[in-house]
Amino acid sequence: MSTSVGFLSTIAPSACPLHDRRSGAAPCRRVIRPRVSCHSNGNAPQPPPSSLLMDRRDVLFALGGLTGGAAAAGKLALAAPVMPPDLTKCHDANSAGLGDHLKCCPPYTSAEITDYTFPDTPLRVRRAAQEVIKDSEYMEKYTTAVRLMKGKPPDHPWNFYQQALIHCAYCNEAYDQVGFLNPSVPIQVHFSWLFLPWHRYYLHFYERILGKLIDDDTFTLPFWNFDSDDGMTMPEIFTADTSSPLYNENRDTSHYSPAILDYKYSYGNTAGSGETGDALVLSNLCTMKKTFKQSLPLADLFMGDPLRAGQEADGSNGPGQLESIHNAVHMWVGTPESPHIDMGDFSTAGKDCIFFSLHANVDRLWHIYRNLRGNKLEFNDPDWLDSTFIFYDENEQVVRVKVRDCLNPNNLRYTYEEVPIPWMNKLNCVKTTETKEKTKAELSLVRVGAFGSEPRELSKTALRVMVSRPKKSRKKAEKEDKVEVLQIKDIAVDTDGPARFDVYIAAPYGDLAGPDYGDFAGTFVRLPHKGKGKKRKGALKLGITSLLEDLDAEDAEKLVVTLVPRIGEFTIGGVAIKLLQTDNPRLV
């Protein structure tokens, strides 16, 4: 399998090629070069905010926030971006396994905050973790940088564990959104369109600080290319030497190489996909291929739902499917016993160096997604583009950054080494079962009803429902205009621990369903997380247009949707199929 990102040059040729400011000789490597608009920030003109949202620009309230009855009347989703937290009001974070009094606040709560000055340095190239182990010079730099970071004073913002606490604070409710009181609205950078840009910045500053510690402007983090058959084992740079500063003892050591990563793994479903060896590799590649194929026409499906000022991320919106795969990798690395530290819990994940290589590949996959879409802006919406975060930079300054300024990696002066992308090859991913050859009389058929109007529990056994489609046998032009989406609404996670259910789709036999669940459509995955006295909530949207083509089910008026619980207990509010307007019809 050898397809690589070189194909991207045929997707969207650049009208403003990058000017490499590298000084001196450099190793010759093929790299993924960003291709973006020549606009200074790579963004198109902004449309007016949705009329369904309340525009904060037309609402008078002090920076201190809404109080009393105004806020208590309901958490309105304002047509406004999520703003950075007030650092002086940082408070204890919470964790399902580690308690309610985690100390994750930064040591710079009263510092002056300035706009970040983006680097003017040579273009840095992130390389695959499986390859850098062969480069002794690079490994010496990486281990030295991490050792120096771990040796900084405990209260220094560059200290390794202070860097890890940044993730804890933003992901475990140590910060509240400015402007919302009684009740407060926690800042959460998972489960929404903030997930990818926030983590891009987090890696950037961590990487720049490491480079500063060894006085090397060219230093980059390695990426764990778990989407490649050659990269589906835990990188040995993090496992081979227990005395290395890159090593972390809080892992599932049974998953060290040669164990193969399983995208369908969860703590309650250690069998995962049920496959091993080459079959498991193929299962993973097919899952990644479907993730891209089904989400290219509509950014929400890949990036996550919008999150605006006043909304809770752990609410009615949902993550993109890339985040769900990423969650499964977190579980696979973390300890299988509760509290699943370090990688299996958001509050501690940053304490493992492998976290940053996992997220470097997640970032790389976003970069590939953007290239496949011709660098089309995912959300031409100021509420996304102007969402703002605060970090501590490589110059020991507290800085603010906006989403709009990280969309072009060239702004951050990095790119990725070109490596094979085997999931872009033709793969035998179509599910084939004996049911296709059997008659109705030979099958063990069961009657499946509609979901109904009341919420339903999902716990020990699969939930199967018959769902009507808005239209069958759609023409190509109709598919280019609207993508068919399965929506699972008002999901309540009834426990604080890890949670996962998988979704399968099959064509029915009239009003009956066969014993086979059909084809895998996607998954809902949550790491252990504790909300403030509330059940965790969410939603799930899955593109199914291409899946129905693979299943030869385009003529079906209804579909059998099966939710298979793997770990945790859920309440499901509803299941429906909708047609949603595509934002990139040429990719359907």
* Distance of alpha carbon 5 from alpha carbon 36, whole angstroms: 16
Q: Looking at per-residue confidence, does 69 or 87 come out higher?
A: 87
What would the pLDDT profile of 91-109 be if each residue is shown by its tens digit? 999 887 776 678 999 999 8
Residue 306 has pLDDT above 50, yes or no: yes
| Residue 255: how many other CB atoms lie within 10 Å | 18
Q: What is the pLDDT of residue 70?
A: 34
Work out the pLDDT band at 59, boundaries 50, 70, 90.
Answer: very low
Residue 361 has pLDDT above 50, yes or no: yes
Work out the pLDDT band at 443, boundaries 50, 70, 90.
Answer: low
Task: Say if strands 113-115 and 99-102 run parallel, antiparallel, or are unpaired.
Answer: unpaired
Mean pLDDT, residues 528-548 = 85
Closest CA to 219 of 304, 121, 295: 121
Mean pLDDT, residues 100-127 = 93
Q: What is the pLDDT of residue 68?
A: 35
- Quick one: tokens of 315? 């609410």
Q: Which percentage of the chain shows pLDDT scores above 90?
A: 74
* Distance of alpha carbon 228 from alpha carbon 231, whole angstroms: 5
Q: What is the pLDDT of residue 492?
A: 94
Residue 54 has pLDDT above 50, yes or no: no
CATH entry 3.30.70.240 includes domain 434-587: no
Residue 56 has pLDDT above 90, yes or no: no
Domain with CATH 2.60.120.380 in the chain: 434-587
Phi, psi dihedrals of residue 163, rounded to the nearest 5°: -65, -40
What would the pLDDT profile of 169-199 be if each residue is shown by its tens digit? 999 999 999 988 778 999 999 999 999 999 9
- Quick one: tokens of 488? 């699972």
Specify which of 46-55, 266-275, 306-315 reaches the highest per-range mean pLDDT: 306-315
Mean pLDDT, residues 328-332 = 97
* Distance of alpha carbon 588 from alpha carbon 546, whole angstroms: 8
Residue type, 534: K
| Residue 392: how many other CB atoms lie within 10 Å | 21
* Distance of alpha carbon 67 from alpha carbon 26, whole angstroms: 57
Instruction: Give the predicted TM-score (pTM) of the model.
Output: 0.87
Mean pLDDT, residues 395-399 = 97
Q: What is the pLDDT of residue 51?
A: 34
Q: What is the pLDDT of residue 369?
A: 98
> Residues 327, 190: contact at Cβ < 8 Å?
no
Work out the pLDDT band at 535, boundaries 50, 70, 90.
Answer: confident
The catalytic site residues sit at 167, 190, 199, 326, 330, 346, 359
Mean pLDDT, residues 285-312 = 96
Phi, psi dihedrals of residue 407, rounded to the nearest 5°: -70, -30
Task: Say if strands 414-417 and 124-126 run parallel, antiparallel, or are unpaired.
Answer: parallel
Q: Lowest-confidence range among 44-58, 295-309, 432-446, 572-586? A: 44-58
Q: What is the pLDDT of residue 5?
A: 44
Domain with CATH 1.10.1280.10 in the chain: 5-424
Provide the CATH number for the domain formed by 5-424 in this structure. Answer: 1.10.1280.10
Q: What is the pLDDT of residue 468?
A: 98
List for the chain the helix, strand, coil content (%; round to 5): 30, 20, 50
Q: Which percentage of the chain shows pLDDT scores above 70?
A: 83
> Residues 112, 419: contact at Cβ < 8 Å?
no
